[in-house]
Amino acid sequence: MDETSSISFPSDYPTIDPTSFDLVVLGTGLPESLLAAAAAAAGKSVLHLDHNPFYGSHFSSLSLPFPPSFLHSPPLPPDPSTPPSAPSPSSSYAAVNLRPHRLYSEIEIAGSSPEPSKAFLLDLAGPRVLYCADETVDLMLRSGASHHVEFKSVDANLIYWEGRLCSVPDSRQAIFKDRTLGLAEKREMMKLLKLVQQHIGSGDGQVAATAEEAAVGISAEDLETPFAEFLKKQRLPPKIRTIILYAIALANHDQDNAESCKKLITTKQGIESLALYNSSVGRFPNAVSAFIYPIYGHGELPQAFCRCAAVKGALYVLRMPIVALLIDKESRQYKGVRLASGQDIFSHHLVMEPSLQVPSSVSHSNTVCEGLNDSNLIGYAARGVCITSGPIQQGSSNILVVFPPKSLHSGQLTTVRALQLSSNVGVCPPGLFVVYLSTPCNDVILGTEYVRAAMNALFIVPNSDISEGGISTSDEVTEGETRPTLLWSSVHVQELTQASFSAVCSCPMPDENLDYRKILESTKQLFTNMYPQEEFFPKHSTSENAEDDSGSSE
C-alpha cells in the first residue's frame, strides 16, 4: 500500500465565505495555533487552514499507523480534483505556485505494532515536556487553553552515569536523601544551590541577609563565562557538574569542549535554567518533579489553542491545502492565497507552516517571500519512537532519562534524551510503554547512531548486533533482571527550521529542546512583527465561553 494513501483529500472542497481576512494561517501546529488564537483574541478576523484531516501538523499526536504515513506524505495533494483557475488577464495580481518541501528523512520502521494500534497516541515532536513554572503553562492559564488540557507529572528525572541510571537530586531534600552521592558531593551541590538562590534573590531586589552572603554573589564577569567553567570554579565533582549541565540546565551539546561546542551555555543562561527548574519543583501539589506531560499527548496543546481561537470567531477548515500565493503585479506585495479548490482568499497577513516553500527564483527577487526557502534550515534532530513490553526502571511510569555527551561512546557530541510514558497519560494500553528519544545533529548518520545506541542501552532490541550490555538502575542489580523488549520502533531525522519574519511568515519546526521556551519566543516575535500595537494574550484576558469549544468550523 502506498505510504501516503491514508491521508486523502475531499473530492468537493467547501466554498469559504467571506473571502477576505486579517490573517490566514496554514497549518495547525503549536506556533500557528498560538498565533491564530492571539490574533483572534486581539479582534482580528482569522482563517485557519490545514491540508491534514487532523489538528497539530508537526506537533500532532497520532494513532498508528498514521505517524509513518505523515512522515512520508507531501503537504500538497498529489492530484487536486479541481485544478486552480488562472487569474484573468485584467487581474491585478499574479499567482506564485508553492512547492512542497520534505522535512523528514532517514525513516526506518521496525517491528510490528501491538494491537489495538489505535490505542496508541504517538507524538511527532517527542520527547517533550513542560516545566511546571514555564511561561507556556502561564500562557495556557491566561488564554483559557488550560480548560481543554489535563496534565500528569513526570515522576522522575534520571541521568545515565557510568553505566547505570541515577536519580537527579533537584532539591535540598532530594540531595539529602540521595544514596549515590557522597557527603562531599552533597555539600558542594548544596553550596551551589544556596549561591544560585542568593543570586536570584538579589536580582529580584531582595537584600542579602548578611555581608557574608552579599560577598558570595555571582559576579558580572562570571555570568558571561561558560557555565561549565563556572561549575569547575565552584569545585564541583564531575558527576554533579554533569547532572547540572545536562539534566537540569538541559544543555544539548558537549559543554566541556568549548572549541567544537555548537552552543555554549553561559553562566547567566545556566543560572536562569536552574531558577526555572527550582521554581517548577513543587509548584503544583500533584506534580512530583519539575516537569509535566499533557494527557493524550502534545497534540492536545495546539488543539486547545485552536479551540480558544474558534471561541473568538476564527474560522477552521481542515483538508484544505494552499497551492499558490497571490502577489500584486505592480507593487509585488502579498495579496492572498489560492486554495486547492481554485478559490482565491485575500488577507493582510499570511502565516505558513514550514513544509511549503516559494521557488527560490521568486523568493530571492521578492522581499515578500524572503525566508520561505532553504535559508532557514539550522540543523537536524534525530528522533526515535519506541513501543516496549515494560518499563525502563521497575515500577516506573513516566520518567525522563538523559544520556550526556560521551556517555554512550567517546565520540558522542550531543545529549540524547529519552522520555518514557505509560498508560496513565492515555498514550498506550496498560502494560505497554511508549518511549521517545531525540538528539540534535549536523550529521544525520551520526544522529541516528546516537539514538540507536541509547535504544540498545535501554531495551532488548531484536535482531540487533549490539543488544548486549544494557544498563543498571541501582547500585545492586537484581539477578535475572532484564530490560524491556522493543516491540516496535520508528527512527527518523527531522529538519530544524527557524521562523522567517518577512511579510509572509513561516513558523518554526519542533526544535531540538525538551521544552517550548524557544518556540514560544519566536512565536511571540512573529505576532509582534504583524501586530506591533497588540499584546500577545493580554494578562487580564480570560477565555469567556470556555465550555463552548465548538466555535466556528467548516
Query: 91 phi and psi, to 5 degrees?
Result: -65, 150
**CA separation for the pair 108, 105 (Å, rounded):** 9
Q: Are residues 177 and 260 in the same domain?
A: yes
Q: Which residues form the domain of 95? A: 20-102+297-377+498-553
The burial class, CB within 10 Å (0-12 / 13-18 / 19+), for 171 is middle
Q: What is the largest CA-CA distance in the chain?
A: 82
Q: Is residue 145 in a domain?
A: no
Report the CATH number at residue 178.
Answer: 1.10.405.10
189 and 271 together in one domain: yes
**Residues 63, 122 contacting (CB under 8 angstroms):** yes
Q: Which of 406, 368, 131 is nearest to 250 (CA)?
A: 131
Verify that 257 and 326 share a domain, yes or no.
Answer: no
Crossing angle, helix 517-530 and helix 30-41, to 10 degrees? 40
**What is the reported pLDDT for 492?**
95
Residue numbers of the chain with a pLDDT score lower than 50: 1-7, 78-85, 204-215, 364, 467-468, 474-480, 543-554
Residue 419 lies in a domain: no
Residue 292: CB atoms within 10 Å: 24
In terms of domains, do 301 and 267 share one? no
What CATH number has the domain bearing residue 71?
3.50.50.60
**Residue 425 covered by a domain:** no
Query: Which of 552, 515, 541, 553 shows the shortest CA–CA distance to 144?
Result: 541
Cell of 497: 527550521
- Residue 257 has a pLDDT of 83
- Is 6 part of a structural domain of the chain? no
Residue at a domain's end among 280, 305, 335: 280
* Structural element, H or E, at residue 381: strand 377-388
Q: Between the CA of residue 465 and those of 68, 122, 160, 384, what are the distances in Å? A: 25, 27, 22, 18
Condensed to tens digits (0 to 9), the pLDDT of residues 227-269 reads 999 999 888 889 889 999 999 999 999 998 877 788 899 999 9
User: How many other CB atoms sit within 10 Å of the CB of residue 220?
Assistant: 8
Q: What is the reported pLDDT for 101?
A: 87
Residue 315 pLDDT: 97
Q: Which of 230, 252, 280 is the last residue of a domain?
A: 280
**Domain total in the chain:** 2
Could you give phi then psi for residue 448, rounded to 5 degrees?
A: -70, -30
Question: In 10 A of CB 149, how many CB atoms?
Answer: 17
Answer yes or no: is 334 within a domain: yes
Phi-psi category of residue 57: left, alpha or beta, with phi > 0 → left and psi -120 to 50 → alpha: left
Owner of C-alpha cell 501491538: 114
DSSP state of 339: E
Length of the chain: 554
- Phi then psi for residue 21, to 5 deg, are -140, 160
CB contact at 8 A, 108 and 491: yes
So what's the pLDDT on residue 545?
42
Of 224, 253, 280, the position where a domain reaches its end is: 280
Q: 88 and 223 share a domain?
A: no
pTM: 0.87
